[in-house]
Each structure stands twice: as structure tokens, then as C-alpha cells.
Structure 1
């Protein structure tokens, strides 16, 4: 199973795992349509939004494992 990493671009995550869009929105990542998100790593986007990158990463990978079962 593929895992999300903090250095992945937000745009890459959205394109490769559209099933995670709702989860990203729920954790406060409301920038998914923003041009910056296409070139920004998950870690950088979390920092901009005042989110803990490790917490967001854990939530995304947990959700990914749930939908992959």
C-alpha cells in the first residue's frame, strides 16, 4: 500500500488519492484549489496553516489504510 509522506506535494496527494480530499478539508487544509498547493509540500502547507505536519500525516495515512482495505 502506498503511504503519504510529508515531502509529497499537496497537488500530488490530491491527484493520486482523491479519496483523501475530504480528510484534508476536515483537518483544515482548505487550500486545495489554490495554485500554491500544487507546488507546496504537505509539511510546508501544514506550517502555513498552523497544523502539526506529523498529526496530519498520521490522519491521512490512517484514512488511506481504511479505504484500501
Structure 2
């Protein structure tokens, strides 16, 4: 991500309107809501669900290894 991601922000009275437009026009794989057509949606959804299940277990090294294992499958 450090090599390929670009981050920008803007203040808008209704930021969700701009977000919907950007998701429709650009490839924004980290945005899940309203973006089911993106090829990464199922995989990222699985990552996030797994992270939520592990949340609070208090074992960050195990959580990190599990994430790496999932990422390596893909």
C-alpha cells in the first residue's frame, strides 16, 4: 500500500455523496459498503469478519499470524 496508495481528504457537508460517486467511478477496494462489485470485496469482507471474531482475544501475535495466513492463501 505504501507504494501504490494515495490518500486525500476534503471537508464536505454531505461526504457520503462524494464517497458514492468515487466508489462508482474508481477502483476503491477498501470501501465495502456499496462496493460489492469490486473483486476484492469477498476477500476483504472475510478478513474483516475474521478480525472481528478474534477481537478482544488479547493475543496480537496470533491475530497477526492468522491475518498473514489468510493473506497468503489468495
Q: Same fold (TM over 0.5)?
A: no
Structure having the larger proportion of residues in helix: 1
Bigger Rg over Cα: 2
Return the TM-score normalized by structure 1: 0.32
Return the TM-score normalized by structure 2: 0.31
